[in-house]
Structure 1
C-alpha cells in the first residue's frame, strides 16, 4: 500500500507542506528536528533575494557582493549552506516554495527576486508566491526551455530568461561576427529577437557577407566591419584626416566590394555607404582598452 501511495504523496507534498505551514502547529513540528537555524533578524531592506546556489546563483551573489548590492540566498542543500555560511555568505537553508521561508527573507521589503533553480514546478510556485507576498517586487527567472516562458509571465514574473533561447542568440551573434557584420547590426539583431521572441530566429533573412579567405590569410588579426551612414561627420575627409589609428587604435585595412578587397591609402576619401560595401579594420582589444574603445559610428570606405 505504501509503495502504491508514494507517487501520489510525492506529487502532493508541496501542497500538503504549504497547508501544514499555515496551520497553528508548534514550531518544532513545522521546522523539524534538524533544521538549520538562521540569524534571528534580517535587517536588509530593498535587497536582492537569490533562490538557488548553483553556478548561476554563485555568480549572481558574487556580482552583488562586488557591486555592493545587499543580498540574501536561500538554498535547499544543507551541506552547501553550512559550507558557504562558514565563509561568510548570507545564505539560509529553506524551501522557497514555502511562504514562511520567503517571509523570513523579508520578501516584502526586497526589490528583486532571482530564481535560478532546476525544478520547473518549484520555480512556478515561487514566482506565484513572491508576486502574492510583494506585488512590487521585480521577479527574474532563469528557466531551461522557451515553452516555460509564458506560464511564468502569467504567474507574475517580470523577466524570464530561457537557457536554450539565450544560447541560440549568443551562438548566432558570434556567427554574425565571424561573417563580419557590423557590431551595431549584431546588437540590433540581439535586441530585436529578445524583444520579439524566439520565433524570429526562424524568419531571419540576413545578407551573407563571407570573408573566410581573408581571415585564413591573417588568422591572428581580429577584424571588425564599419559603415559610413549618410550624414556621418567623416564624409568628404580622407582616412589620414580622420586619424582613426591615433584616436581609436583602429587600422583600416581594406574596402570590400562583394568578395573583392581594395587596399587603400591615407588619401582615400570617406563616402556614404552603398550596398554591399564594408570596411575591414584591425582593432586593439587589449584588456586595458576594451572598455574604453569607441566604435567609429559605422564607417565604410568608398
Structure 2
C-alpha cells in the first residue's frame, strides 16, 4: 500500500472482508455496534476540543463483518492498541490507525503529540463505552505502538476468525480523523446483546408512567366552619451548578491557567529601546484585581499572594457569563 490516505475502495474492502466465516458473520451485530459507537462518540463530543486543540465534529460509525486476515492485509504500518475486557464482557478489542492517517494527526490534533492524543482518546472512548452499556468492562489497555501484524503473537486473533470492523470518523477543519475498532465475533455478539439490553432498559424507564398519588378529600362535617389551608411562598432552593452527565470523561484533561498582571501597548521603537533595568508601566493599578485565564478564556479575578516562596492568586470573584460576552466584544 502506498503512503497516501486510504481510498474509499480500500476502506470498503476493509469493512466488507470476504473471508469472514459464514456461521458467525450472519447477524446484525455490525449495525447494532455502529449505533452503539455512534452514541459513544457523541458522549465524547465535549472532550474533543480540549484533547485535540481543534474542533472535531460530526461523529459517525460504520460496521461490517470481516476477518482478521483481511484487516491485516488492508492496513499499512499501523499504530495498534489492544484493550482486554475482563469484566462483564470478556475478550479483546483492537484499535488500528493506518500509517497514512498518522501523517495527518499533527494537523488534526495540534494540542497533543499524536500517540499521546490517541491514547487519551482511546481511554475516554472505553470509559464512555462503559457508561453507554451500563456495565464494567474491567478494561486493561495498552498504549498505541507500531506493531508487525504479520506476527501471530502481536494480536491474539486467528486470520480466519470472523470479526466486526468498525470505522469511526470525526471530521475536522484539516481533514477527517478515521480509525478502526476490531472486535472478534464472540465479543461483538456479547457487546451487541448488552447494548440491546441497555437500550431496552432506557426506553422502559422513559415510558414508565409516574406513580399516581391517591389523595382523598376529608368529608366535611355538617355545620363545620370551612377552613382554608395557609398559603406560603415557595422556598427558594440554593442555586446549584448542574454537572453534565459525562463530566467524568474530562476531569483528567490538563488546562493552561494564566494570570495576567497587566498589559501595555508599545511602539516598535520603544520595544527596540528596552534594555536591562528598563521599566514597563502596566495598565493595572497597584492593588487592582488581576485576571485569571483558563485556556485563554477569562474566568476569574483575584489578588496576588505569596505562598511560601511562590506567587499565587486568591480568587475574589468569578466572571459571570454576561461579563465573558462583554470581553469577547
Which is richer in strand?
2
Instruction: Please identify which structure carries the higher helix content.
Output: 1
Give the TM-score category using the shorter length: under 0.3
**Which one has the largest radius of gyration?**
2
Task: Between the two structures, name the one with larger relative contact order (CA 8 Å, sep ≥ 6).
Answer: 2
